Amino acid sequence: MKIEKKHIAILGSTGSIGTQALEVIKANPESFVVEVLTGNSNADLLIQQAIEFKPNAVVIADESKYQKVKAALDPQDIKVFAGNKAIEQVVQMDSINIVLAAIVGYAGLASTISAIKAKKNIALANKETLVVAGELVTALAKENGVNIYPVDSEHSAIFQCLAGEFTTANPSSGGWENPIEKIYLTASGGPFRGKDKNFLASVKKEQALKHPNWDMGAKITIDSATLMNKGLEVIEAKWLFSLKAEQIEVIVHPQSIIHSIVQFKDGSMKAQMGLPDMKLPIQYALAYPKRIASTFERFNFVDYPALTFEKPDTNTFRCLSLAYEAMKKGGNAPCILNAANEVAVQAFLTDKISFLKIADVIEGTLTKAPFISRPSYDNYVASDKETRALALGLCK
């Protein structure tokens, strides 16, 4: 099958996912072209990336850095824009056919929605988009004939396990039969696996920022330490694969070799495995449906004589239970969960609250913020804003 080159917009190119995506693109110039790069405030890196990859346009969200980026890229004939609205506009460019949504947090929602409305396929790293507004975003994708390819390693694993499984159309119903009985999302357990509340009471951000298996941005690294990352991923999986809460189970697997598992309705299970390296799921999402050859380090069984599994400790790591509760409640509850978590994580990273207080802030905010059962986009925007104020109040 001849596959055209993918013309890619990378939203959040200066981050952990963004820079790894550029490594994948650099290694595969016959498959990928960079159309757009965007960053929040790291002007130097954005300029350096633009000079190397020669996109059509770049956007720097922080408007105070506009002149600097423009002066550097004008001679290169690269268009430069500034501000978050410009990110929403630039994703609609005709030449783009896939958008890598790799901005962190709620800040990535508007641009992802804008790209979907412009009928661009999405490689989705920004899980918060589906946590906040999964129902709306998946409905919009369907309406616009847009595919959402997961970048998150667990969801990429599920997606890879599902390849070829939806080919048995049920002729009498005329539809596709969902063959999934349940999925197991694997979790490393993070840097504090096995620790109790006494230990966690005094942990500092430097300890929380040391993830045993993955090197990621600060926010997701803290989320991994609290297990909120797995909670967000449970909600992300619900929307990506049309699952009910009871069909999603989290299992701690400290070696991070099995990236997730699908159990089908005949009881058969498929797992996807490999060494932990985000470049693989990034490349799979960008190149789909093709598998491109890579030089990523290969797994060696003898190096891992034991792959182990255990139940998550949700008494100590309450964020995971809070996420399940918010998902079951539905409406704007996951939006509230997400906003409270973003505020609490920021407060922890700036030494304003302790590690254990993160879950307290989220739980307190969930009980205080007004519930909306069928939120519109505007409701989500208002709810996010209101929740942040409430959560900030609880961080004092």
Compute how many other C-beta atoms are within 10 angstroms of the C-beta atom of residue 70: 17
207 binds, among Mg ion, ligand NAD, none (CB under 5 to 8 A by kind): none
Nearer to ligand NAD, 276 or 330 (CB): 276
Closest residue by Cα to residue 130 from 164, 106, 146? 106
Q: Does 190 bind ligand NAD (CB under 6 A)?
A: no
Q: Does 10 bind ligand NAD (CB under 6 A)?
A: no
Nearer to ligand NAD, 336 or 364 (CB): 336
76 contact partners, CB below 8 Å, separation of at least 6: 50, 51, 54
Nearer to ligand NAD, 103 or 161 (CB): 103
Nearer to Mg ion, 154 or 384 (CB): 154
Owner of token pair 């989220």 = 362
Closest residue by Cα to residue 368 from 341, 340, 342? 340
Q: Does 216 bind ligand NAD (CB under 6 A)?
A: yes
Closest residue by Cα to residue 373 from 194, 35, 135, 97? 135
Q: Does 127 bind ligand NAD (CB under 6 A)?
A: yes
Instruction: Give the span between the Cα atoms of 385 and 335, in whole angstroms.
Output: 10
The half-sphere exposure of 194 on its side-chain side, counting CA atoms within 13 A, is 6
Q: Does 18 bind ligand NAD (CB under 6 A)?
A: yes
Compute how many other C-beta atoms are within 10 angstroms of the C-beta atom of residue 344: 28
Q: Does 57 bind ligand NAD (CB under 6 A)?
A: no
Residues in 150-169 that interact with ligand NAD by CB under 6 A: 152
Instruction: Give the span between the Cα atoms of 124 and 119, in whole angstroms.
Output: 14
- What are the phi and psi torsion angles at 244 (to 5°)? -95, 160
Owner of token pair 């004589």 = 305
Nearer to ligand NAD, 73 or 216 (CB): 216
Q: Out of 12, 134, 189, 364, name the contact with ligand NAD by CB under 6 A.
A: 12
Binding-residue pattern over the window 62 to 101 for ligand NAD, x denoting contact by CB under 6 A: ----------------------x-----------------
Span from 136-144, 212-220, 256-264, 299-307 in contact with ligand NAD (CB under 6 A): 212-220
Kindly tell me the burial class for residue 201, based on how many C-beta atoms sit within 10 Å of its own C-beta (0-12, 13-18, 19 or more). exposed
Span from 37-45, 134-142, 329-337, 382-390 in contact with ligand NAD (CB under 6 A): 37-45
Nearer to ligand NAD, 42 or 207 (CB): 42
Nearest residue (beta carbon) to Mg ion? 152
Rounded to a whole number of angstroms, the minimum distance from the CB of residue 41 to ligand NAD is 6
Q: Does 126 bind ligand NAD (CB under 6 A)?
A: yes
Span from 122-130, 202-210, 240-248, 361-369 in contact with ligand NAD (CB under 6 A): 122-130
Rounded to a whole number of angstroms, the minimum distance from the CB of residue 347 to Mg ion is 23
127 binds, among Mg ion, ligand NAD, none (CB under 5 to 8 A by kind): ligand NAD
Rounded to a whole number of angstroms, the minimum distance from the CB of residue 375 to Mg ion is 25
CA angle at 308 for the pair 303 and 312, rounded to the nearest 5°: 140
Rounded to a whole number of angstroms, the minimum distance from the CB of residue 40 to ligand NAD is 3
Compute how many other C-beta atoms are within 10 angstroms of the C-beta atom of residue 327: 23
Q: Does 264 bind ligand NAD (CB under 6 A)?
A: no
Q: Which residues bind Mg ion (CB under 5 A)?
A: 152-154
Question: What is the total count of residues that contact ligand NAD (CB under 6 A)?
Answer: 27
Nearer to ligand NAD, 13 or 226 (CB): 13
Nearer to ligand NAD, 223 or 363 (CB): 223
Q: Does 61 bind ligand NAD (CB under 6 A)?
A: yes
Residues in contact with ligand NAD by the rule CB under 6 A: 12-18, 39-40, 42, 61, 84, 102-104, 107, 125-128, 152, 214, 216-217, 219-220, 278
